[in-house]
Amino acid sequence: MPGTTWLAKLRAGLAACGLLAVAACGGASSDDGGPVKVSVWAWYPEFKGVVEAFNASHKDIQVEWTNVGTGPDQYAKLKTAFTAGKGAPDVAMVEFQQIPTFIILDALVDMGEHGANEDKGLYAEWAWSQATDGQKVYAIPVDGGPMALMYRKDLFDQHGIPVPTTWAEYADAAAKIKAADPNGHIASFGSDGGWINGLMWQSGCRPYGYSQATAKDQVKINLTAPECKRVFDLYGDLVEKGLMAKDPFFTADATAALDSGKYWTWAAAGWTPGYVAGSLKNTAGKWAVAPMPQWTAGADEQGDWGGSTFTVTKQAKNPKAATIVARELFGKSKPAWDIGLNKAFLYPLVKDVAADPAFTGKAYEFFNGQKVNEIFVPVSNKLGEFQYTPFQDFVFGELNDRSAEAMSGSRSWDSVLEETQKNVVAYAEQQGFKVSK
């Protein structure tokens, strides 16, 4: 592997550390005669209560939790610790798209050796498939982001605009919204790699292929497939016509636009109800949730935006105890899920939790009493398998940056995926991968 990229350098560093042998490269463990102490890095909201619930019910294992940062900040610290051979936690929260990266770095324990194979039937099938390589269990799913369409029901009703069920109807609704309100937009193109990925997933696109078990040095990249391209054709056309805004998601401007009537829809995720209820104070009760528009009338393609797992690192001195923590911090824990659902607003990937009438039948005041999980749960149940690359952060960065160029006018929309494909393939080959479409 060339030594000019972070992945190549990191893999070399890990090899020098004996492929992160459990005893040789450190980690947290236990006190003599006392409970085993397991260190956990995670950034879940309201996670302190989840840890307290676990510790209260496990006298022989005690979790010591640290929030070292969200997403990329934590991953940077993990990579530093893996390179150094010390300093990583026993258990780390890892998003689905990052799992292949840490697998290829040989940084994760196969939890199947410590009983995790028993959990296969507990979780949504698509999530379990991403947590394993078909042979080894590298992650325990926690939450996901099945996608649906949030929309301003009051405005659609007021102007007699039908809620779109196809993307062609969505484009038609965008024009009608602009005619009804010159300051209105059907939505914003947030230039978020994970969100774009979810839209492509829902379009039937499977742009990535990778298997550590069968071909660890081969990767499939096909971002220019027709099912991917039609997403950018549609959204690019709406942006160029001024029917869709350009604000990045989760900024003050985007939040204000959602809360003022500037945006009439948002292709959002199963964790969205908690976010909007806490952020949009002026429009509570005016929103509703509908299934995502389909590319073909009557089809049932679904996508996911977001989701996370627990992994056990090879720096854990007691991987068996760490696996128990990864499996049981949430897992079947009712106290943990009471917090996860009602305070942290996670979308559960435990099938029994998602199917519980207390979840599916929950009425949301923000959505005027609508039981929105009756929309999200079938989406998660119908999601097909989806793979990621071992360098997905680079892919998402390319999608973000090339989309931003198109929105600024410095790049044509029809070149976004072509340029992203070219750059990602070049990057993969730099890492030593054989690339195919």
pLDDT band for position 134 (cuts 50, 70, 90)? confident
Residue 29 pLDDT: 54
- Could you read off the pLDDT of 21-41 as tens digits, one per residue? 333 344 445 556 799 999 999
Weakest mean pLDDT among 14-28, 131-145, 327-341, 391-405: 14-28
- Could you read off the pLDDT of 352-384 as tens digits, one per residue? 999 999 999 999 999 999 999 999 999 999 999
DSSP tag of 78: H
DSSP tag of 329: S
Q: Which CATH superfamily is domain 147-303+369-435 in?
A: Periplasmic binding protein-like II (3.40.190.10)
Overall fold of domain 36-145+306-355: D-Maltodextrin-Binding Protein; domain 2 (3.40.190)
- Could you read off the pLDDT of 56-73 as tens digits, one per residue? 999 999 999 999 999 999
* Distance separating alpha carbons of residues 199 and 389, to the nearest angstrom: 17
DSSP tag of 119: G
Q: Would you say the CATH fold of 147-303+369-435 matches that of 36-145+306-355?
A: yes
Largest Cα span, the chain: 73
Residue 341 pLDDT: 97
Query: What is the DSSP code string of 351-406?
Result: HHHHHSHHHHTPPBGGGTTB-THHHHHHHHHHPPP----TTHHHHHHHHHHHHHHH
H or E stretch at 174 = helix 167-180
Residue 406 pLDDT: 96
* Distance separating alpha carbons of residues 238 and 190, to the nearest angstrom: 13
Residue 26 pLDDT: 43
Q: Residue 419: is its pLDDT beyond 90?
A: yes
- Could you read off the pLDDT of 117-129 as tens digits, one per residue? 999 999 999 999 9
Residue 108 pLDDT: 98
pLDDT band for position 215 (cuts 50, 70, 90)? confident
Cβ–Cβ < 8 Å for 436, 232 = no
Question: CA 387 → CA 326, 344, 393, distances in Å?
Answer: 22, 27, 14
- Residue tagged 């260190």 (tokens): 39
For the chain, the domains span 36-145+306-355, 147-303+369-435
Query: What is the DSSP code string of 235-272?
Result: HHHHHHTTSSB-PPTTSHHHHHHHTTTSB-EEEEETTH
Weakest mean pLDDT among 168-182, 207-221, 308-322, 365-379: 207-221
**Beta strands in 110-221, from DSSP E residues, in sequence order:** 140-152, 208-211, 215-221
pTM: 0.92
3-state SS assignment for residue 9: helix
Cβ–Cβ < 8 Å for 135, 111 = no
Backbone angles phi, psi at 296, to 5 degrees: -125, 130
* Distance separating alpha carbons of residues 40 and 224, to the nearest angstrom: 39
Residue 7 pLDDT: 52
